[in-house]
Amino acid sequence: MHPRTQRQKEILDYITLFIERHGYEPSYAQIARQLRVSSKATIAKHIEALERQGLLSRRRADGGFGLSLPFEEVGVDATCEVPLLGRIAAGAPLDAVDDREMVTIPRFLLGRVRPNRVYALRVAGDSMIDEHICDGDIALIENRTEARDGEIVVALVEGAGTTLKRLFRQGQEIELRPANSQVAPIRLHASQVAVQGIFRGLLRPAL
């Protein structure tokens, strides 16, 4: 099904692109600014129309919404390929290596994330071991530059090395928190940390 009006199409296209880039939904105010509409109530009416058409579905009491379509239904045996772009430190920051090797993974591991937005990194170290992310595992990473507090991220530290940690914002600082009581967290000014991806799954090579 397609939106019934041009304005509905513009709204749906913007929401789709926004979610792909940021990993969460835009607010009514953001949609209104993007489309140069003065009233959020007008946006709300279009959202309701898209919902009636089955193109959007509300999922939170506060008015948040998520795309209900399209969603790629795949069988349990379906696979896809993603590029393996070197190593990521689960420990001290590590220089990434771009090997461009491809790895085959079960498609269901990615959920609603499209395979063309995912890359893989081989884990080095054990600072995330309490999350069952171990040395030698292959981490599946969504290519995204924004993260919510508590998400496991690929972080570029001080423009040099990358590391896999949970991210928490504390005022002007960011804490990259390990999942290992023997490893200290990394605390830096927010300007020294750049998110390069969000952890989405794990592949453990057969021994």
Q: How far, in Å, CA of 40 to CA of 65, rounded?
A: 15
List CB contacts of 205: < 8 A, sequence separation 6 or more: 136, 137, 138
Buried b (16+ CB within 10 A) or exposed e, 19-57: eeeebebbebeebbebeebeebeebeebbebbeeeebbe
Confidence tier at 107 by pLDDT (50, 70, 90)? confident
Q: Is 127 in the active site?
A: yes
- The verdict on 57 and 83 lying in the same domain is no
Residues 62 and 90 in one domain: no
By CB neighbour count within 10 A (0-12 exposed, 13-18 middle, 19+ buried), where does 98 fall?
Answer: exposed
- Is 56 found in the same domain as 134? no
Residue 73 in any domain: the answer is no
pLDDT of residue 166: 95
Q: Say if residue 134 is in the same domain as residue 163.
A: yes
Which residue, 44, 67, 90, sits at the end of a domain? Answer: 67
Which has the minimum average pLDDT: 26-35, 76-85, 164-173?
Answer: 76-85
Using CA atoms, how far apart are residues 72 and 77, in angstroms rounded to an integer? 14
Whether residue 63 is found in the same domain as residue 112: no
Q: Is residue 1 part of a domain?
A: no
CA distance 114 to 146: 17
**Which of the 8 DSSP states describes residue 166?**
E
Task: Give the CATH number of the domain where residue 150 resides.
Answer: 2.10.109.10
Catalytic residue selected from 39, 45, 57, 165: 165
Per the confidence metrics, is the pTM higher than 0.85? no
Domain around 172: 79-203
What confidence tens digit (pLDDT) does each residue in 162-172 have?
A: 899 999 999 99
Residues 51 and 92 in one domain: no
Residues 83, 61 share a domain: no
Residue 131 lies inside a defined structural domain of this protein = yes
Helix (H, G, I), strand (E, B) or coil at 37: coil
The catalytic position among 27, 40, 127, 181 is 127
Residues 133, 50 share a domain: no
CB contact burial 75-95 (16+ within 10 A = b; e otherwise): eeeeebebebbbbbbbbebbe
45 is catalytic: no
- 130 with 197, same domain: the answer is yes
Within-domain flag for 113: yes
Domain count within the chain: 2
177 and 85 in one domain? yes
Reply yes or no on whether the pLDDT at 141 is more than 80.
Answer: yes
72 within a domain of the structure (yes/no): no
Q: Which of 37-51, 82-96, 144-158 has the lowest mean pLDDT?
A: 82-96
Same domain for 107 and 176:
yes
CATH number at residue 51: 1.10.10.10
Q: Do residue 185 and residue 99 come from a single domain? A: yes
138 in a structural domain: yes
